Structure 1
Amino acid sequence: MTAAKRPRRLRDWLVDFALFALAVVWGIVLSGLRISAAEVPSVVPAWLFTLDQAVGALGCGALWFRRRWPTEVAVALVLLSSFSEMVSGAMLVGLFTVAVHRPPRTSLTVFALSLLAAVAYALLRPEPGAPGLLLFFIGAACQGTATGWGLFVHHRRRLLVSLRERAEAEARRAAREEIAREIHDVLGHRLSLLSVHAGALAYRPDAPPQDIARAARVIRESAHQALQDLRQVVGVLRAPVGELPQPVFADLRSLVAEAEQSGMRIRLVQEVAGEVPDALGRTVYRIVQEAVTNVRKHAPGAAVTVAVNGAAGTGLDVAVTNTAPTAPAKAGQAPGPGYGLLGLAERVRVADGELEYGPLADGGWRLTARLPWPS
C-alpha cells in the first residue's frame, strides 16, 4: 500500500521536503559548476542551458507526486534525464521511490531504463576531455546506489511486516490453544461425571431406588453445572481468558469434595506454607482436575490420593496417585496420554514447571508436577 492511500503524517512531509531539497540542491550545484567554468557558451547552447534549468525545476516539482504515482513519475524523470543533467537529482529520488514502494521487478525494469537513458545522455551531450564511457559508469553507479538503497528499505519493510504478522498469528494461535484447554478442562470434568452415573444407571437398571435417585440427582446437578460452565466457555470466546472468573488454589478442596460426593474414593493431603498466588493456584487446580477426570474415565473404582506441598521460594509439588481400577474402563477409553495430558503438559510448560506421568507397578497411575513459586 502506498502512502497516497492514507493522510500524510509529519514524518512523510519531512521526508518529502528533504528529498525535494536534495534534488534542488543537486540541480543548483550542477548549474553553478557550468556557470563558474564558463562552459555554457562553448559547450552548452544558451537555449539548451535555459531549457535544462526549466526541466530540472519541473522535475523537482514532480517529486511531490511521487507517493501517488511512483512508477509514472520515475519513468518520466528517467526519460527527461536522457538529455537534461539538471533533472538527474530528481531522477535519482524517483528511482529510490520506485524501489521502496513497488515490487523489485518493477524497480529493476525502471533501473534498466535509466541505464539506457544514461547511454543516450552520453551520446547526445558528450563532455570535452571526458570519455563518454566514464560518464556512463558514473551515472550508472549513482543510479544503482539509489535503486539498491530503495530495495534495501523495501525488503526491510516487508521483513518487519512479516515479523509483525507472524507475531500476531502466534498470538492468535496461543489464544486458540488457551481456549481449547479451557474447554477441555472445564467441560471434560463435568461430562465425565455425567457419563459415569448415566453408565451406572444403564448397567444396573435393577439398582435400589435410593441409588437411582442419588445418581439422577448427581446427573441433574452435573448437567446444570455443565451448562453454567458452557456459558463461561462461550464468554472465553468473546473476551480474553484472563478477564473471566478463574479457579484459585482455595477451590481445590471444593473440587475434591465434589469428586467424593460423586462416589469417588479420594483424599486430599495438603501441606502448603503461605498464600498461593492466583496464577499458580489456577495451574494446580487444572492439574488436579485433569488427573481426577482421567481417573474417573480410565480407572473406575480406583482410590485417589491428591498431595500438594511446598512453600514460597522452594516451589510447589503436586502429585495425584490412583490405585488399580476395580472395574473395566469403558470401550475407547484405554489408559494412556491423550489430548488432555498434552494440553496439561503445555499448561505446565508455560508456567515453567515440569510434568511427569506414567503407570505404577501395582497397576495404578501417578501424575506429578513441580511448579516454581518465587519468594
Structure 2
Amino acid sequence: MEASRRTTGDTERGDGTPLPWRRRLLTSADADELDLDSEGRPGRGRRTVRDWLVDFGCFLVAVFLGLILAEQVWDDPNTSDTLALVDQVIGALACAGVWVRRRWPLGFAVAMVPVGFVSNTASGAVMIAIFTLAVHRPFRYVAWVGGASIALVPIFFWLRPDPESTYALSVAFTVILTVTVVGWGMFVRSRRQLLMSLRDRALRAETEAGLRAEQAQRLAREAIAREMHDVLAHRLTLLSVHAGALEFRPDAPREEIARAAGVIRESAHEALQDLREIIGVLRAADHGEESGRPQPTLAALDTLVAESREAGMKVVLDNRVGDPDSVPASTGRTAYRIAQEGLTNARKHAPGAEVAVTVTGAPGDGLAITVTNPPPPGDVPHVPGSGQGLIGLTERATLAGGTLDHGQRPEGGFAVRAWLPWSG
C-alpha cells in the first residue's frame, strides 16, 4: 500500500488536477535538473538553491573571461577607444544575459552568435550560452548554433587579428575550445538523460510490483471466497433445509424431530470448524503453512455421500475409479468440490428427488464427474441462493485445465457435467 502511495501520491497538483506523465515519472529535483516545468515542458519559473549557485558560477566565469579579453581589447593597437568601449558594453550586457540562459537556452544562444562576432569581451558569455544549449536542447539545435559560431571564427580573426598570436593558432584554439564546450555540455545532457531513464525504470518497476502485489492479493481473496462458498454452503444448506422442515412440520414424529435436530447440530459444528480453519488461513502470516485438516480429495467422496444420506437425501453413487487415491490431489479436490456443490444445489432446489453421482476416468483419459437429479416430487421451499457456486465451479474447473457445463435436462431436472485432466 505504501508503495502504491509513493507512485501515485505525487500525480496531482495542488488544485487536484493530474500532472503530465513526464513530471510524474520524476521527483521534483530530477525534473528541475532536466529543466522541466510543471507541464513537463522545457523551461521553469523558479530556481532552486542549486540553480542559483550554478547560475552565479556561470556569471562569474563569463565576467572573468570578459575582463581578461577586455584588457586585450584595450591593448590592441588596431582597435580604437570607441570600438573598445562599445565592445565592453556589449560584453557586459552579454554577461548579464547569462541569468536568462536557463529560461531561454535556445534564444540566448542564437542571440550570442552575432554578439560574439562583434564583441570580443562577450566570448565568455558565448561559451556559456553554447554549453547551456548543449545541456538543455537536442543536438540538432547545438549543431546549427555551434556550427554558425565556428563558421564565424575565421572571419572574426581575419577582421580583428590577435596581436599576440598567429591567425591559424587563434582560429584553431577558438574552434577547439568551442567543440570542447559542446562536448562537455552533451556529456552532461547524456548523464541527465541516463538518470531520467533509470528513474523512469525504477518507478515503473515499483508501480508494476505494486500492481502485481494487489493482483496477487485479489486472486488470494477470490480463492478464499470460493473456498468459503464451497465449504460453508454445503453445511449451511443442511441447516436451512432441516430448519425449514421443522418449521413446516411442527407435528412431525419425535424421532424425526430428534434426527433433524441432530443433523442441525452436527452441521453447525462442522460449519463452525470449517469457518475457523478458513479464518486461520486469513490470519496466518505464512500462507504456505497448513491450516488444519487436510483438504478433501476424491477418496472423501464416499464420506460426502454418506453425510448427505444421513441428512435424508436419496443419493446413488457410481464411482468407477478403482483407486481414488491415485487421482492427483488437485484434480481429486476439484472433483470433490463439484460433487459437493451439485449435492448442495440438489438439496436446495429438488428436495426429495434422487440424485445420481457418477465418476469415471483413468490416467491419460481424464476424470469425468456428473451430478444429475430429476424434477422435485413436490413443492420446493424457498432457499436463498446467489448462483455464484456454479460460476465458481466453472472457473475452478477451467483453472484446473478442464471443462464444466450445467443446465436443465431435456427430460426435466438438472445436470452438472465436468471433465478434468488426469495425466498418465
TM-score normalised by the shorter chain: which range applies?
A: 0.5 to 0.7
- State the partner residue of 1:306: 357
The equivalent position to 2:412 in structure 1, one of 351, 363, 370, is 363
Larger Rg: 2
SS class of match (1:243): coil
- Give the direction of change, closer, same or farther, for the CA distance of 1:330–1:123 in structure 2 (3 Å limit): farther
- Residue-by-residue CA offset, 1:314-358 (whole Å, 9 max, x unaligned): 111111111111233333648xx8111111122112211111111
Instruction: Give distance in 2, aligned partners of 1:351 and 1:198.
Output: 36
Instruction: Give distance in 2, aligned partners of 1:271 and 1:72.
Output: 82
- Give the direction of change, closer, same or farther, for the CA distance of 1:83–1:370 in structure 2 (3 Å limit): farther
The equivalent position to 1:186 in structure 2, one of 221, 224, 231, is 231
Deviation at 1:136, TM superposition (A): 6.6
- State the partner residue of 1:89: none
- State the partner residue of 1:344: 393
SS class of match (1:123): helix
- Give the direction of change, closer, same or farther, for the CA distance of 1:340–1:190 in structure 2 (3 Å limit): same
The equivalent position to 1:232 in structure 2, one of 277, 281, 301, is 277
- State the partner residue of 2:219: 174
Q: What is the TM-score when the length of structure 2 is the normalising length?
A: 0.59
Question: Please, what is the CA RMSD of the aligned residues?
Answer: 3.3
Q: Check the 8 A contact 1:273/1:312 in 2, yes or no.
A: no
Larger deviation: 126-135 or 137-146?
126-135
Instruction: Give distance in 2, aligned partners of 1:206 and 1:175.
Output: 47
SS class of match (2:198): helix
The equivalent position to 2:344 in structure 1, one of 289, 293, 307, is 293
- Give the direction of change, closer, same or farther, for the CA distance of 1:246–1:227 in structure 2 (3 Å limit): same
Instruction: Give distance in 1, aligned partners of 2:372 and 2:52.
Output: 76
Structure 1 unaligned runs (5+)?
A: 2-70, 86-110
Q: Which amino acid aligns with 1:314?
A: D
Instruction: Give distance in 2, aligned partners of 1:159 and 1:179.
Output: 30
Instruction: Give distance in 2, aligned partners of 1:122 and 1:172.
Output: 63
- Residue-by-residue CA offset, 1:192-217 (whole Å, 9 max, x unaligned): 00111110011111111111111111
Q: Check the 8 A contact 1:83/1:124 in 2, yes or no.
A: no
2:189 corresponds to 1:144 = yes
- State the partner residue of 1:157: 202
Instruction: Give distance in 1, aligned partners of 2:289 and 2:413.
Output: 35
Structure 2 unaligned runs (5+)?
A: 3-47, 63-100, 113-121, 128-152, 154-169
Instruction: Give distance in 1, aligned partners of 2:318 and 2:52.
Output: 80
2:314 corresponds to 1:265 = yes
Q: What is the TM-score when the length of structure 1 is the normalising length?
A: 0.66
Deviation at 1:125, TM superposition (A): 7.0
Instruction: Give distance in 2, aligned partners of 1:241 and 1:361.
Output: 45
Q: Check the 8 A contact 2:240/2:383 in 1, yes or no.
A: no
Instruction: Give distance in 2, aligned partners of 1:321 and 1:373.
Output: 23
- Give the direction of change, closer, same or farther, for the CA distance of 1:125–1:289 in structure 2 (3 Å limit): same
- State the partner residue of 2:124: 123
- Give the direction of change, closer, same or farther, for the CA distance of 1:247–1:228 in structure 2 (3 Å limit): same
- State the partner residue of 1:208: 253
- Give the direction of change, closer, same or farther, for the CA distance of 1:205–1:312 in structure 2 (3 Å limit): same
Instruction: Give distance in 2, aligned partners of 1:84 and 1:246.
Output: 78
Instruction: Give distance in 1, aligned partners of 2:61 and 2:370.
Output: 83
Instruction: Give distance in 2, aligned partners of 1:242 and 1:229.
Output: 16
